[in-house]
Chains A and B, each alone.
Chain A
Amino acid sequence: KNQVEQSPQSLIILEGKNCTLQCNYTVSPFSNLRWYKQDTGRGPVSLTIMTFSENTKSNGRYTATLDADTKQSSLHITASQLSDSASYICVVIRWAGNNRKLIWGLGTSLAVNP
């Protein structure tokens, strides 16, 4: 079954600290993996897009990793800021023939406290 599981479900950290969010997937065939940030009451915003051959990709204070063998990805946030408080969603794109489908995780709710 094509699934995306994220952990932890929620996380509280202090401003300035680092954190790592996890994503495990069983999606096949795999096309690419994306991390989105969704602020409360807003649409998702793309942070990173990773293809099968990419192991690490950074976007400012966000660094995503991908291990296609173990089907795991992580999102590392460095020097967290209050504005990082949001839901972080892992999405795996499944590509089979002409059918492209986004498999969404439930997200990790991150709260950054002062």
Chain B
Amino acid sequence: GAVVSQHPSWVICKSGTSVKIECRSLDFQATTMFWYRQFPKQSLMLMATSNEGSKATYEQGVEKDKFLINHASLTLSTLTVTSAHPEDSSFYICSASPSGGSYEQYFGPGTRLTVT
């Protein structure tokens, strides 16, 4: 149980385009989902916290207009990287916390984004 999926697993896009990454909790409902970014040989960095039905909370230094987060249902959150630049190339990981007060986070397999 507690499986989180991400789609796509990897994506290559051109500079200036937008790309959407999906995060789904497959066997549980998640009121809260988290989006992380990880650069090579670095730890995960929290980008934003999204709660179903409300606006996401972004960490300091993360541009909310560039990284659009939508958490429209209890099983799906999306991250859209708008006007992508090569420096946005990174490994994006989502996690989900089950509804009902659990603070456990289950992580997705990650999405490798390469912007050319």
Which chain A residues have a beta carbon within 8 Å of chain B's beta carbons?
Answer: 36, 41-46, 89, 93, 100, 102, 104-107
From known contacts A41-B91, A41-B112, A43-B93, infer whether A89 and B43 are also in contact, taking CB-CB under 8 Å: yes
Please indicate the chain B residues that have their CB under 8 angstroms from the CB of A102 in the complex: 46, 105
User: Chain A nearest CB: distance from B84 CB in Å?
Assistant: 20
Q: Name the one of B6, B44, B45, B103 contacting A44, with C-beta atoms under 8 angstroms.
A: B44
Are A106 and B110 in contact (CB-based, < 8 A)?
Answer: no
Are A107 and B43 in contact (CB-based, < 8 A)?
Answer: yes
How many residues does chain B have at the interface if contact means C-beta atoms less than 8 Å apart?
Answer: 19
Are A43 and B107 in contact (CB-based, < 8 A)?
Answer: yes
- Closest partner residue, chain B, to A49 (CB atom): B104
- Closest partner residue, chain A, to B108 (CB atom): A43
Task: List 8 A–B pairs whose Cβ atoms lie within 8 Å, in order of A's numbering.
Answer: A41-B91, A42-B109, A43-B6, A43-B110, A44-B93, A44-B107, A45-B107, A105-B43
Please indicate the chain B residues that have their CB under 8 angstroms from the CB of A105 in the complex: 43
Are A106 and B91 in contact (CB-based, < 8 A)?
Answer: no
Please, how many angstroms separate the alpha-carbon atoms of A107 and B43 in the complex? 7
Are A42 and B110 in contact (CB-based, < 8 A)?
Answer: yes
Are B43 and A106 in contact (CB-based, < 8 A)?
Answer: yes
- Closest partner residue, chain B, to A44 (CB atom): B107
